[in-house]
Amino acid sequence: REARAKERVFRVRADTEREIRAALALAEAHGVALVIVGGREAGACAGEIARAGAAVVWRAAFAPRARDMRDVSPDRARLEMFDCTPAALAAQNVPVAIVSAGFEGDDLLGAAAFAAAHGFPREKALAAVTSEAARILGVAGRLGSIEKGKDADFVLLSAMPFGEGASVCATY
């Protein structure tokens, strides 16, 4: 029964430490796998997330290229914690997928580049928008990598992924 329960995945929107810890407790109580969606403050409890074997779908809550980095408001420290969330999760070997602010891919490359610029390893950033994202979302059997029999979109970029000025030229 427990092995069967672990096959079920509980996906929950949780951004604050309090919400994340509540989701971790709920998943543990019911013996189900957990995917945290949002994860704004997940870096602060990355060790707990790792011990639970959970994954995080980190949502870039802004348009990375439009952010005013000169902001000196009191919330800046919270923003900096958010900026480093993927890196903190990677340091604990927590699986991470990245989605853009609108969940529609409008700036997915920018969100992944932003995470990489804030300490998230580049190879993990690329996987977080391809193969790892597909695995976390349960669709790796048909998406996420280029293999015979899988659906695929090819993206032509103007520069190396996450490089200066990289933008999408075309998709196929």
pLDDT in tens, the chain (172 residues): 444 445 789 999 999 999 999 999 999 999 999 999 999 899 999 999 999 999 999 988 655 444 455 555 555 555 566 788 999 999 999 999 998 876 455 578 888 888 998 899 999 999 999 999 999 999 999 999 888 999 988 888 888 888 777 888 898 8
User: Which residues does 103 contact at the CB level (< 8 Å), separation at least 6?
Assistant: 59
Q: Strand, helix or coil at 120? A: coil
Global pTM exceeds 0.75: yes
The tokens describing 23, both together, are 């989701």
* Cα atoms found within 13 Å of the Cα of residue 42, Cβ hemisphere only: 35
Cα–Cα distance between 114 and 109 in angstroms, integer? Answer: 8
